[in-house]
C-alpha cells in the first residue's frame, strides 16, 4: 500500500503507476495494487449474453456521460459492504472537476437506471465501480461504454478485479507486468473521453 494524499496530482500519478484507491472496513483510504488485473477487451473478444441483445434492440435506455456524476458515485457506494467511503466520493468529484473521472450512465426517461464510474488517463479507462437501479441498466452501460471507448480510440479498459459478472463480457486476467505494459502504452495515447 502507498501512502494516501488528497491532492489531485498525486492521485493521478498513483493511478498512472497502476495503483487504485479503496477504503477498508473502517473507511480508511489506501492505495492498492493487484498481482493480476481484470481487463475488459476492446476487440472482438468482448461479448455479452444473447438476452442482453434483445434488451439493446428494444432501446429502452438512453445513454449519457456525466449527466449525474454524483448520482452514479452514490449508486456505486449504495450496498451493504462498500469500499467507496464518503471521502473517496469527494476525491472522485475533485477528479471529475479536473476532467479525469467520469460517469457513463443509462437512463429510462428521467430515472437513472445504472452507470459505470471510471477514471481516464490517456487511452486508459480505469473502471472503478458500476451499479444499477433498473434491471439491465449497468449491463447496457457496459456494452455502450465499450462502443464509446472503441470510437474514441481507447486501448485499455481496466476493470481491476475479476468477478463472474465481468466474465460474462469476456473479461480476462493479466499479470501485473503485462498490465504495466498495457497501461504505459495507453498513457501515451491522447484520447478524449467526452
Domain extent listing, the chain: 35-187
Query: What string of DSSP letters covers the chain?
Result: -PPP---HHHHHHHHHTT-EEEE-TT--EEEE--SEEEE--SSTT----HHHHHHHHHT--EEEESTTHHHHHHHHH-SSS-S--HHHHHHHHHHHHTT-EEEEEEEETTEEEEEEEEEEETTEEEEEEEEESSTTHHHHHHHHHHHHHHHTT--EEEEES--HHHHTTT-EEEEHHHHHHHHHHHHTS-----
- What tens digit of pLDDT does each residue of 59-112 get? 999 999 999 999 999 999 998 888 899 999 999 999 999 999 999 999 999 999
Query: What does the pLDDT look like over 150-165, one tens digit per residue?
Result: 999 999 999 998 988 8
CATH 3.30.420.40 fits 35-187, yes or no: no
What's the whole-model pTM score?
Answer: 0.93
pLDDT digit string (tens) for 14-64?
999 999 999 998 889 999 998 999 999 999 999 998 899 999 999 999 999
Arithmetic mean of pLDDT, 128-134: 96
Predicted local distance difference test score (pLDDT) of residue 145: 98
Amino acid at each position: 500500500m502507498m501512502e494516501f494524499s488528497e491532492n489531485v496530482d498525486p492521485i493521478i500519478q498513483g493511478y498512472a503507476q497502476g495503483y487504485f484507491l479503496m477504503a477498508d472496513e473502517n473507511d480508511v483510504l489506501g492505495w492498492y495494487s493487484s498481482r493480476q488485473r481484470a481487463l475488459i477487451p476492446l476487440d472482438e473478444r468482448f461479448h455479452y449474453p444473447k438476452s442482453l441483445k434483445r434488451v439493446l434492440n428494444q432501446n429502452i435506455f438512453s445513454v449519457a456521460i456525466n449527466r449525474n456524476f454524483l448520482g452514479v458515485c452514490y449508486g456505486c457506494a449504495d450496498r451493504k459492504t462498500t469500499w467507496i467511503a464518503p471521502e473517496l466520493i469527494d476525491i472522485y468529484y475533485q477528479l471529475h472537476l479536473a476532467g479525469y473521472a467520469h460517469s457513463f450512465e443509462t437512463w429510462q426517461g428521467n430515472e437513472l437506471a445504472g452507470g459505470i464510474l471510471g477514471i481516464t488517463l490517456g487511452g486508459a479507462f480505469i473502471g472503478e465501480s458500476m451499479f444499477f437501479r433498473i434491471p439491465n441498466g449497468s449491463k447496457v452501460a457496459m456494452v455502450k461504454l465499450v462502443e464509446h471507448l472503441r470510437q474514441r480510440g481507447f486501448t485499455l479498459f481496466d476493470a481491476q478485479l475479476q468477478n463472474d459478472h465481468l466474465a460474462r463480457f469476456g473479461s480476462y486476467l493479466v499479470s501485473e507486468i503485462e498490465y504495466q505494459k498495457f497501461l504505459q502504452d495507453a498513457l501515451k495515447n491522447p484520447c478524449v473521453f467526452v
